[in-house]
Structure 1
Amino acid sequence: MPPPSVSLHLHLLLLLAAAFASPTPALSKSTLESCSSSTACPALLSYTLYADLKLAELAALFAADPLAILAANSIDFAVPDPADRILPAGLPLRVPVPCACSDGIRKVTSVRYVSRPGDTLASIAASVYGGLTTPDWIRDSNGILDADADAAVDAGTRLFVPLHCACFGGVDSGVPAVYLTHVVAAGETVPAIAKRYRTTANDLMSVNDMATADVAAGDIIVVPLTACASSFPSYTSDVGMTVANGTYAITANRCVQCSCGPGNLDLFCVPAPLADSTCSSMQCSNSSMMLGNFTLMMTSAGCSVTSCSYGGYVNGTILTTLTTSLKPQCPGPHQFPHLMPPPTSSFFETYLGPSPTPMPSEGGVGPQMAGMAPISSPPVNSGPPPSHRHVGDVLALLALCLVANLLW
């Protein structure tokens, strides 16, 4: 039998090894939006690239249009071969997605992922999809029986990956908005997140139904971004299109680009740079004006503005509308949001346009927020990152070696 001092060392070292080998799992929380509608709404996901990826690879991860990703980040989408552009690891982006209503909550339901060698549910959730989902959610959505999130997934397995998103009626405090899902990073605070997205901490707490401003790494919150809302008919394929202020959207089979801001919250659409002969006519009926054109005429009552506007996309046809309105003063040339060249550095920061408060005559001030208030989901046990377990295993091995040396 070893002497008492050795027994004491043995117990202490075993306790230390156990503490490091089995850390207490972190609990994460998220904001979920209850829903009952069968229609999807436009939403954005805040995502940081986990590796160097071609734009086409990133688009495949989220079942998104490569040009739509560039447009949502105000990155030049008229560059040659944009899908083959390599985006650097660490690049923060906004990914546009349709936010569907499924099982009574809002979530992205269009994403499918084919597992690769070495993938686990934990690595897919935390690394590949940046914490926008959880291992438990992936497991339950695919009927996987293995409860170990760190167990290897057979390469080539096709998985449905649900992702958090929100709509909340497409308005925030009566102003059109598109909602962005944000995963809280280590050290982030609610005021810092609010400053980053040009909103207020009070607004974030209200939208996410937070009693306090306490957040932890891995928490998922939604951020309302001031936007331009469309008023297309319900039979159009791009009905409900909403564009965040300072950014663009590509629609009508890549034939039309729409932008929001920076001067107001009026959606402004023109032919896209890549529009070709396959696009339908963009000329307004009974007029020589093309989409995006407008004329000004001063009268004794004010400035008469006649414009050819975009009205939606139906079965390959671009709808246009000729309208005439009277304004106190003639507007100047239209200002477009700034476009940046494709990024080549991981220190790239996306451009966030200003968020002006629209005047009654500028931008559509939508109805009051519809839908149910956000609720906090039950804590999800996503488990510690695999790297923590590796550190614990090493320390445990060292402790056991020390014990063996003492006994020897």
Structure 2
Amino acid sequence: MGSTTYPAILLSLFFISAHLVAQSAAQTPPVFKCSTGAKTTCQGLVDYVVPNATTLAGIQALFGIKKLYTLLGANNHPITTPRNTTVAAKETIKIPFPCSCFNGAGASRGAPNYTVKPGDGLDHIAREIFSNLVSYQRIADVNRIPNVNLIQPGQTFTIPLPCSCDELNGTQVVHYGHVVKIGNTVEGIAQEFGTTEETILKLNGIVNSTEILAGQVLDVPLKVCSSSVRKDSLDSPILLPNGTYVVTANDCVKCSCDSSKNWTLQCEPAQIKLTNKTWSTCPSMQCSDSSLALGNTTFTTTDSTCRATTCSYAGFSNQTIFTTLLNQPTCLGTNPNNAYSKMGLGAWSWNYLFISIHLVLIGIGLGL
């Protein structure tokens, strides 16, 4: 073997080692920064790549999600989707959970909790059961486990999922833990979720956009629908990104976010069986000083203005559902939900057809 072979081998080993170190670092489960006060809570959202085929009920139980429709809403599945619906291996499901801040980092609050089974190791729990959303070191730190190699069946540990309640440039957002897929780029992810490449790089402390790898969890800020929910409401704030919904007010109200509806929260009676122990029937959802009920809209027009008035959800207390009248400008002929617009457009179309036919007949009569 020539003398030049050894340096070549060493150089190759160096690059392989460097690549493995970089890959390992990139695959390390994240801890999202959360600088707001410790009393601040918000809604967290993270991707879960299902390791083995299961059901929605199985995922609900694993992550300690109290009600199935909370999971359904985060994934925009119909509210009537059965609990035993199969979820295939490697399928990605969005997991909603309460988030809070502590010591500059965000983590899931209260759930999920995992009870150790025979043969479980802390690394196995982190990597295999929770799909590398959290590191075993982070589980050990949060649960104050002195020796990560000494855990016993029957012990229950909190699993700190990554999240954040921080605002972005003074605006509330949902910090979404997005799992990078093969072929993803930071630019593509930014375009898909309506943010910028620079924002994602800064939030995740990434210097070079080519550093991301499949399986990595990125903090992606999602724009949320504006709402009329009062700060003293028991469900304040409701932060919903596009294409999601939530059932709130003790199962009485369903609110959804649809970017095509001017990024305004759309709420209506949930029309599902009540499962809470607070109310046997839902309180009134009528807007005061109005004939409108929650979710109803009327349209008014004058020579100079046109507007839509909606009975909107404003939150709830232990006794009451709050509502408020929301006025929004609209324009005839452009609002697809405007009945007057549809009538006006239809009438214009028929008039146009009538005039056209009339002109043709005149042309025939004149021998044109």
Does structure 1 retain, via aligned residues, the 8 Å contact 2:225–2:263? yes
TM-score, length-scaled by structure 1: 0.67
1:252 lines up with 2:249 in the alignment = yes
Instruction: Tell me the residue number matched to 1:215.
Output: 212
3-state SS of the aligned residue for 2:224?
Answer: strand
3-state SS of the aligned residue for 1:45?
Answer: strand
Report the Cα distance in structure 1 between the residues aligned to 2:53 and 2:117, rounded to whole angstroms: 16
Q: 1:305 aligns with which of 305, 308, 312?
A: 308
Report the Cα distance in structure 2 between the residues aligned to 1:103 and 1:297, rounded to whole angstroms: 52
Instruction: Tell me the residue number matched to 2:281.
Output: 278
Give 1:242 shift: 1.0
3-state SS of the aligned residue for 2:73?
Answer: helix
Q: 1:289 aligns with which of 279, 288, 292?
A: 292
TM-score, length-scaled by structure 2: 0.74
Instruction: Tell me the residue number matched to 2:57.
Output: 56
Give the stretch that moved more between structures: 124-133 or 268-277: 268-277
Give 1:297 shift: 1.8
Relative to its length, the structure with more helix (as a share) is 2
Q: 2:267 aligns with which of 269, 272, 282?
A: 269
Using the aligned pairs only, state the percent identity: 33
Q: 2:336 aligns with which of 332, 341, 347?
A: 332
Give 1:223 shift: 0.6
Q: Deviations over 1:361-383 (max 9, x none)?
A: xxxxxxxxxxxxxxxxxxxxxxx
Distance 1:322 1:230, change over 3 A: closer
Instruction: Tell me the residue number matched to 1:146.
Output: 147
1:201 lines up with 2:205 in the alignment = no
Report the Cα distance in structure 2 between the residues aligned to 1:209 and 1:113, rounded to whole angstroms: 30
Does structure 2 retain, via aligned residues, the 8 Å contact 1:31–1:222? no
3-state SS of the aligned residue for 2:110?
Answer: coil
Does structure 2 retain, via aligned residues, the 8 Å contact 1:107–1:162? yes
Q: 1:159 aligns with which of 136, 157, 160?
A: 157
CA RMSD of aligned residues (A): 2.8
The within-5 A match list for 1:7-406 is 26-27=24-25, 28=28, 30=30, 32-37=32-37, 38-64=39-65, 65-79=67-81, 82-111=82-111, 112-148=113-149, 153-169=151-167, 171=168, 177-184=173-180, 188-194=184-190, 196-197=192-193, 199-213=195-209, 214-216=211-213, 219-263=216-260, 264-274=262-272, 278-329=281-332, 331-333=335-337
Distance 1:296 1:92, change over 3 A: same
Give the stretch that moved more between structures: 293-302 or 195-204: 195-204
Does structure 2 retain, via aligned residues, the 8 Å contact 1:131–1:183? no
Report the Cα distance in structure 2 between the residues aligned to 1:39 and 1:231, rounded to whole angstroms: 20
Distance 1:199 1:235, change over 3 A: closer
Distance 1:326 1:26, change over 3 A: closer
Report the Cα distance in structure 1 between the residues aligned to 2:194 and 2:254, rounded to whole angstroms: 25
Give 1:162 shift: 1.1
Give 1:250 shift: 1.8
Distance 1:299 1:185, change over 3 A: closer
3-state SS of the aligned residue for 1:305?
Answer: strand
Q: Deviations over 1:101-134 (max 9, x none)?
A: 1233211122211122222111111122121111
Give 1:195 shift: 5.0
Q: Deviations over 1:344-391 (max 9, x none)?
A: xxxxxxxxxxxxxxxxxxxxxxxxxxxxxxxxxxxxxxxxxxxxxxxx
Instruction: Tell me the residue number matched to 1:20.
Output: none
Give 1:185 shift: 5.4
* AA of the residue aligned to 1:260: C
Q: Give unpaired runs (5+ residues) of structure 1.
A: 1-22, 335-408
3-state SS of the aligned residue for 2:83?
Answer: helix
3-state SS of the aligned residue for 2:225?
Answer: strand
Distance 1:209 1:230, change over 3 A: farther
Instruction: Tell me the residue number matched to 2:15.
Output: none
Distance 1:87 1:317, change over 3 A: farther
Does structure 1 retain, via aligned residues, the 8 Å contact 2:235–2:248? yes
State the number of aligned residues: 306
Report the Cα distance in structure 1 between the residues aligned to 2:29 and 2:134, rounded to whole angstroms: 11
Does structure 1 retain, via aligned residues, the 8 Å contact 2:29–2:134? no
Structure index of larger Rg:
2
Give 1:327 shift: 3.9
* AA of the residue aligned to 1:118: G
